[in-house]
Structure 1
Amino acid sequence: MNQEELIRFGTGRQLAEIDYLSELLSYQSLFKEIHSVSALIHQVQQVIQAINSGYLPDQLPQLAVTDVMIADVQQNVLNKFPNQPNKGNVLWGQMVESLENIDFLVRHLRDALIEYFSMYGFVSTPFVQDLSYYTAGYPVLELMAGHGYLSAGLRACQPKQTIIATDNKSWRHQPEVTLCQPVTKVKKMSALSALANYGDSVAVILMSWAPDTSEDDWEVLQAIRTQYRNKKFLVIGEENGATNSKAFWSEAKLKPLLNTHHQSFDLINEQVFEVE
């Protein structure tokens, strides 16, 4: 996608220096002749730069150095030194070490997104467009909205649609608290309070990346089952993994949906579920 096609969620952080990106880009010149590797670096660069500038990025494939990339590097070395194996071995050693570093960096993109932008779940333009189409202009309540990337994207897609973003902002009390402000208006309240205040007035309830350190998500599920059964309840997370409580996953009835443009790019298999 060109930048003109991306959803603008706000101003972004406009950071002048991002150490993670600088380290990754330091390998550009070494692999400039190897399209498969340079394309991988460029994909991650585009994601970081888009979010920093206030745009939701394009979707991502699985990020890793592949066997195809390694073969491309081998061929490049052979082409440069077909009759000079010693020089070829020196260059190969340098490139293998660099490939290992690139692989480590791209596999840890999520850590960088969390550190620099407080984006835990990956929010892309194609996914938010799908989600906006799914909600069809009906009022949406987002629980545990964090810094509000999902709600900001939905608001940008349909400015007249009612999108209520809520979060108790407990992340402000974590040991390594970020000073970043939410990227859109997020009302400070617990998930259960948000349901009590807005549950009757919305059609879709959205909960993304609920923490696995409490059973608040389980209490939300119980409240929806008893008081708001006619609402669509969408959850984004990793089943029995990095998000949500064991109690939630053991009792939730899950129906995967909207995953055409919401697929994992790392070892965390986050998905979208309609939950009963």
Structure 2
Amino acid sequence: MEEEYIQNLKNYLVEFDKLPIAKKKITALLEADNCYKKGKIPIKSLPNLEFTETEILEHLTEFPNIMELESHLLDFREYIIEEYGIWHIYSQEWLQDLKAFLANEQTLMIMAGNAVLGKFLKNIICTDNLDWRHQDNERPNPWTDVEQLDALEAVKKYLNNVSNIIIEWCPDSTDTDIKVLHYLRQKKWKGNLIVLGEKQGATNSKAFWKEAHLERPVNLNQHHKPFDFIKDHVYLAK
């Protein structure tokens, strides 16, 4: 998929060279892909990849493929998942906000996937049972060390040693998140449970979203912008 998807983006870049609103979106995706190839993170958040109805109507005559382009742009997340095993797409700007919030305190990341986020954080323990390797991306290729451990078992093992727990893009097909929440409540844990995902949408269980007491802190969301049809945000959960 890689060569075809990226080549199509490059073709669209030529086709839409005279339409700045399109060129900006295409260029941002090519730059992001280039960063991932080098094991880096894009500097800025991706722009919104959709066009407004007004933009489409205004430019449809001169650029008849504008809706086809939008559809291709919106395939970017699926491309990143298949090519790199990355579900959560974020920027260096947001990463700095997260680092400031964590303040170098010991942190546990459960269901870490390829631990792309974990690579850039200090005092982090990344864990994952790797059962996702038979799904969209079959080649786990962690960016940093990942301890193969079930999420709840990881919480039980490290709870007393960490000030933060991160759940990042938890699958919506598991109830592990609600089990973790119940365990933390049972233990009266006082740390920060940071959840990155789409409320009642693409990530986490319905039970979790229904039961968790959620706060959406401004300092963790100011540089975390949804860019496609998945409206993910950063939450503190209790």
TM-score (norm 1): 0.80
Residues of 1 paired with 2:170 and 2:161: CA distance?
A: 22
**5 Å matches for 1:39-78?**
39-57=24-42, 58-66=44-52, 69-70=55-56, 73=59
- Displacement of 1:180 in angstroms is 4.0
Residues of 1 paired with 2:188 and 2:223: CA distance?
A: 28
Secondary structure in 1 aligned to 2:193?
Answer: strand
- Displacement of 1:261 in angstroms is 0.8
- Displacement of 1:246 in angstroms is 1.1
- Displacement of 1:123 in angstroms is 2.7
CA RMSD of aligned residues (A): 1.9
Residues of 2 paired with 1:162 and 1:228: CA distance?
A: 23
Q: Does the Cα contact within 8 Å between 1:31 and 1:38 map onto a contact in 2?
A: yes
- Displacement of 1:213 in angstroms is 1.0
Residues of 2 paired with 1:241 and 1:34: CA distance?
A: 33
Residues of 2 paired with 1:199 and 1:228: CA distance?
A: 11
Q: Does the Cα contact within 8 Å between 1:142 and 1:166 map onto a contact in 2?
A: yes
Aligned to 1:82: none
Aligned to 2:211: 251
- Displacement of 1:250 in angstroms is 0.9
**5 Å matches for 1:15-54?**
18-54=3-39
Aligned to 1:7: none
Structure 1: stretches of 5+ with no match in the other structure: 1-14, 75-88, 155-160
Residues of 1 paired with 2:222 and 2:132: CA distance?
A: 30
Residues of 2 paired with 1:38 and 1:68: CA distance?
A: 17
Which amino acid counterpart does residue 151 of structure 1 have in structure 2? Answer: G
Secondary structure in 2 aligned to 1:212?
Answer: coil
**5 Å matches for 1:165-204?**
165-174=126-135, 176-204=136-164
CA 187–125 in structure 1, closer or farther in 2 if over 3 Å, else same = same
Q: Does the Cα contact within 8 Å between 2:174 and 2:205 map onto a contact in 1?
A: yes
- Displacement of 1:61 in angstroms is 2.4
Which amino acid counterpart does residue 48 of structure 2 have in structure 1? Answer: Q
Q: Deviations over 1:12-59 (max 9, x none)?
A: xxx9x5321111111222222222222221111111111111111121
Whether 2:163 is the aligned partner of 1:163: answer: no
Which among 134, 137, 141 is matched to residue 108 of structure 2? 141
Which amino acid counterpart does residue 209 of structure 1 have in structure 2? Answer: W
Which amino acid counterpart does residue 136 of structure 1 have in structure 2? Answer: A
- Displacement of 1:265 in angstroms is 0.4
Greater CA drift, 197-206 or 101-110: 101-110
Which amino acid counterpart does residue 50 of structure 2 have in structure 1? Answer: A
Which amino acid counterpart does residue 121 of structure 1 have in structure 2? Answer: H
Q: Deviations over 1:213-265 (max 9, x none)?
A: 12111000011111252111111111111111111111100000211111210
TM-score (norm 2): 0.92
Which amino acid counterpart does residue 146 of structure 1 have in structure 2? Answer: G
Number of equivalences:
235
Q: Does the Cα contact within 8 Å between 1:123 and 1:150 map onto a contact in 2?
A: no
Residues of 2 paired with 1:68 and 1:41: CA distance?
A: 19
Residues of 1 paired with 2:128 and 2:147: CA distance?
A: 6
Secondary structure in 1 aligned to 2:120?
Answer: helix
Which among 138, 152, 164 is matched to residue 119 of structure 2? 152
- Displacement of 1:68 in angstroms is 6.4
Which amino acid counterpart does residue 78 of structure 2 have in structure 1? Answer: D
Which amino acid counterpart does residue 87 of structure 2 have in structure 1? Answer: Y
Secondary structure in 1 aligned to 2:34?
Answer: helix
Which amino acid counterpart does residue 98 of structure 2 have in structure 1? Answer: L
CA 112–228 in structure 1, closer or farther in 2 if over 3 Å, else same = farther
Residues of 2 paired with 1:178 and 1:62: CA distance?
A: 29
Q: Does the Cα contact within 8 Å between 1:56 and 1:123 map onto a contact in 2?
A: yes
Q: Does the Cα contact within 8 Å between 2:166 and 2:195 map onto a contact in 1?
A: yes
